[in-house]
Structure 1
Amino acid sequence: MTDIISTRREGSILEVTLNRPKFANAIDWETSRLMSKTFKGFRDDQDLRVAILKSASDKHFCAGWDLKTTAAAEIPGAAPVNKDFGVGGFGGIQELPHLNKPVIACVNGVALGGGFELALSCDLIYASEHSSFGLPEIIAGTLADAASSRLHKRMPWHIAMELLFTGRRMDAAEAHRWGLVNEVLPKEKLEQRVWEVARLLAAGPPLVFAAIKETVRVAEALSFQDTMNRVKRRQIATVDTLYGSDDMLEGSRAFAEKRNPVWKGK
């Protein structure tokens, strides 16, 4: 697409690569809008089923928000800046509505601040052994808003609060120990493993993935029983679509006929 964001498509898989090495892959307004456009396109393309988010560097996955660019824009006389993250919010996926397809973070290097939050916005996280994660916003006197909303739900409360309060870095091994990272691999094997998982998911039932993602989001704001009631009454749009789909019938038929199902997303 651009020098900043590039994409590669293999069948129903979209690989999205962030490439701002001069800025440690930090995200500014323009980059966020490009990522938002990219992931909106992924969401709306019925032929795409899985996305991978990675960086072109093995040093920085993403250093978060580009503070230098922001500071330069505030200098008197500087050219006006379009302060719009895009429809998906920071990094394109953090607040993108109806993103009901699996997204995998391929973290090879440092994921700091908004970069850590970007990884948390993905459904699966695979990291290289030398990767690390941190939330240095406290040092800059600001709030890691997405991490403050999500992190304590993904790991023990006291560890999450320590990371938020101190800004310390956590290596990939510790992140895996707390369950934040699915697997930690040598950097030369990382992308191979991520693509292996992406192909596995791409061969799976897209309507079920959509129902899973929406049900999980709904469940965050409701009690268990309220969520179950909505599922049973088909009050969640993707669940209603799934329960009335040809794919659901295909799954039953394939099981009875002892063959692999053919998913059509319909």
Structure 2
Amino acid sequence: MFTSLEIELAGPVATIWMNRPDLHNAFDETLIAELTAACIALDGDADVRVVVLGGRGKSFSAGADLNWMRRAANNGIDENLNDARALAGMLRTLAEMKKPTIARVQGAALGGGMGLASACDIAVASTKAVFATSEVKFGIIPSAISPYLLRAIGARQATRYFQTAERIDAARAREIGLVHEVAEPETLDAKVAEIVAALLAGGPNAQAAAKDLIRAVDHQPVNHTLVEETAHRIAHLRATPEAREGISAFLDKRQPNWMGE
């Protein structure tokens, strides 16, 4: 049972709702621990194919709870390090899930909230969404979220926004690669559902392998080692039951078994 989250299951789709709407889904040690546990549990659930991350209320997530940050500021270095490791671990757990993940961003995604959106594989934003790496305004830096933001928007854009803490609207977020799609508030869920349907058509093992492939190949020089690595990956995957089923289904003009009836 969670106190800061709700898990909604709809067939093969699980939605994790951050459920602190009165605090704009700002996270503290409890939400961090619960989100970590939820990601681990859903990643291990064979009935779940896609995970959507959303926030109840007006905001996706306003980042770190200021009361939690105030407590941390009064703690020693060891306590601060433990808190930072827990946050970094949660983000990595989310980012490295084998299942496809979608961030459903309907409102503010600030600081760590912007990090959560970046840690998901796909981000869909409402036209009312707004993003910012606002940490420098509090005398800190977006450290734990930086690997995922750099992956999403690149070092050049991050150099600007990490220092200015400017607000980024949905259109600008799409322009710089932070989100994949922007939809009007009333069509946000339909856009998420459209992407979910596309994901459900793919083989689950192939999708997990595709995510691992990107981590292995990104920013690597194209040399003999990398070419050999990619050859081994596709050769091993072609020999799996899922690949045989996918190819047979295509040739037989039928749906593969992972799509159900």
What is the total number of aligned residue pairs between the two structures?
256
**What's 1:22 paired with?**
22
- Spell out, residue by residue over 1:211-257, the C-alpha distance to the aligned partner (whole angstroms, 9 max, x if none): 110011112363234433212124xxxx6763331111112212222
**What's 2:166 paired with?**
168
Structure 1: distance between partners of 2:119 and 2:11:
24
**1:60 paired to 2:59:** yes
Shift of 1:193: 1.9
Q: Give the alignment of 1:66-81 within 5 angstroms.
A: 66-72=65-71
- Spell out, residue by residue over 1:191-221, the C-alpha distance to the aligned partner (whole angstroms, 9 max, x if none): 2221232233123210110111001111236
**What's 2:43 paired with?**
43
Structure 2: distance between partners of 1:227 and 1:261:
31
Q: Of 87, 97, 100, which residue of structure 2 is paired with 1:99?
A: 97
**What's 2:117 paired with?**
119
Shift of 1:91: 8.0
Structure 1: distance between partners of 2:244 and 2:129:
43
Q: Give the alignment of 1:1-266 within 5 angstroms.
A: 1-57=1-57, 59-72=58-71, 83=82, 89-90=87-88, 92-95=90-93, 98-155=96-153, 157-220=155-218, 222-225=220-223, 226-234=225-233, 242-263=237-258
Shift of 1:56: 0.7
CA RMSD in angstroms, aligned pairs only = 2.8
* Structure 1 counterpart of 2:101, one-letter code: V
* Structure 1 counterpart of 2:250, one-letter code: F
- Spell out, residue by residue over 1:131-156, the C-alpha distance to the aligned partner (whole angstroms, 9 max, x if none): 11100111112121244334344336
**Alpha-carbon spacing, 1:140–1:240, altered in 2? closer, same or farther (3 Å):** farther
Partner SS, residue 7 of structure 1: strand
* Structure 1 counterpart of 2:129, one-letter code: S
Partner SS, residue 161 of structure 1: helix
Structure 1: distance between partners of 2:27 and 2:63:
6
Larger helix proportion, structure 1 or 2? 2
* Structure 2 counterpart of 1:24, one-letter code: H
Q: With the length of structure 2 as denominator, give the TM-score of the two structures.
A: 0.87
**Unpaired runs of at least 5, structure 2:** none
Query: Structure 1 vs Structure 2: percent identity of aligned residues?
Result: 31
Structure 2: distance between partners of 1:73 and 1:153:
28
**Unpaired runs of at least 5, structure 1:** none
Shift of 1:82: 11
Structure 1: distance between partners of 2:89 and 2:190:
24
**Alpha-carbon spacing, 1:21–1:97, altered in 2? closer, same or farther (3 Å):** closer
Instruction: Tell me if structure 2 keeps the 8 A contact 1:27–1:91.
Output: no
- Spell out, residue by residue over 1:92-118, the C-alpha distance to the aligned partner (whole angstroms, 9 max, x if none): 343458522100000010001110011
Structure 2: distance between partners of 1:195 and 1:114:
25
Shift of 1:86: 8.3
Structure 2: distance between partners of 1:158 and 1:86:
26
